[in-house]
Amino acid sequence: MPLTTSPIDGSPMRPAQMLGVEYEICPASGGVWLDKGRLETLITFVREETLAVSPERWSYLDPPSKPAAPARRRGLWGFFGAGR
């Protein structure tokens, strides 16, 4: 159900559409209201378009690689740096 008044200032919201996603915009404040699931739809679209052009841009979403195990020290001598 579309929002009819802006939660920011109470002015009437205007329906709009971008990339096939419907949303409401407040002409007075410029605030945007997205119904449930619409933001995820926009994010998915932008991610797919960006991956097609520049895959490294979304690499931060990849699971982190497992860090290498630290070198084991041998007893107290290894802890104090002796025997290097």
pLDDT tens string 6-46: 888 888 999 998 888 888 999 888 888 888 888 888 888 88
pLDDT tens string 59-81: 666 666 677 666 666 666 655 66
SS3 30: coil
pTM above 0.75, yes or no: no
How far from 12 is each of 24, 27, 83, CA to CA, in Å?
Answer: 10, 8, 77
The reported pLDDT for the residue numbered 1 is 46
Q: Compute the distance between CA of residue 2 and CA of residue 36 in angstroms, rounded to an integer.
A: 11
How far from 32 is each of 2, 13, 16, 49, CA to CA, in Å?
Answer: 12, 9, 10, 22
Domain boundaries, the chain: 1-55
The reported pLDDT for the residue numbered 61 is 66
The reported pLDDT for the residue numbered 14 is 92
